[in-house]
Amino acid sequence: MISFLRKYRRKLKHALKGYPIYAVSDWLVKNNYIQNKTFLEAFANTGEHQAPAYYKYASYFEAWEITPELAAQIKENLPNAVVKVTNSIEEITKTTRKFDVIILDAHMGVFGGIYCEHFDILPNCFRIANDEVVIVMNVMPYAEDKWKERYPTVFDEKHLERRKQFYGNALNVVTCTYDEMIAFYKDYFRKNGYEITDYFFHQRHLLHYLAVKATKIKSNTA
């Protein structure tokens, strides 16, 4: 009964666009960035929390999730999705398909013992990105005390160490502005052969969404 009510509440909330992801999907749709595109949802969970905001725009939708028990629920929530039970951070080094839209809804700190935020998967997104790509990821420009109290591993020593490894000296890893953060990602994408041509930030809670539209940089050598 409780799970039925939860499911109904979630569906109602989606119908009312009551989740922060809708600010992102509205921006993507308004700019015509995701209609009829191929999608990769790299950390799918059950597929019921945020994918409903953009799933309907996909011409092809692939969902990766490490937990085998969730595969059936993904299929139920996203019936046309191609579901792979896999470690996304390894899968992304092997898959041969390329995508127009890549969604990285990774955990908020260190996870799986060795991974952290989108830091281990983003470097390999460029090998599976089409020339025009949208990447949606979670970022943490800062963490208010209330969130650190609620999630004690957020911004703990291990997490901050990984943040320093990824952002280097380019960012203050404890607190920075959206402008400073996008400057980092513009540089990062450029070093990986892509120019960010548009972007959108939106706070969801402790995490903030960063959606970027990027274009492959054409080499000048004819």
Ligand X SMILES: C[S@@+](CC[C@H](N)C(=O)[O-])C[C@H]1O[C@@H](n2cnc3c(N)ncnc32)[C@H](O)[C@@H]1O
Contacts with ligand X, residue ranges (CB under 6 A): 43-46, 48-51, 64-67, 87-89, 105, 107, 111-112
* Min separation Cβ 221 and ligand X, Å: 37
Beta strand extents in 50-205 (DSSP E only): 58-65, 82-85, 99-104, 110-111, 115-116, 129-139, 194-203
* Min separation Cβ 204 and ligand X, Å: 11
* Min separation Cβ 125 and ligand X, Å: 14
- The phi, psi pair for 16, rounded to 5°, reads -90, 5
* Min separation Cβ 187 and ligand X, Å: 26
Print burial letters for 61-85: b (CB count within 10 Å at least 16), e (below 16). bbbbbbeeebbebbeebbeebebbb
Q: Which is nearer to ligand X, 78 or 194 (CB)?
A: 78
Q: Which residue is nearest to ligand X (CB)?
A: 49
The distance from CA 47 to its chain's CA centroid, rounded to whole angstroms, is: 13
Q: Which is nearer to ligand X, 34 or 194 (CB)?
A: 34
Q: Which is nearer to ligand X, 25 or 45 (CB)?
A: 45
* Element housing 33 (H / E): none
Q: Which is nearer to ligand X, 112 or 168 (CB)?
A: 112
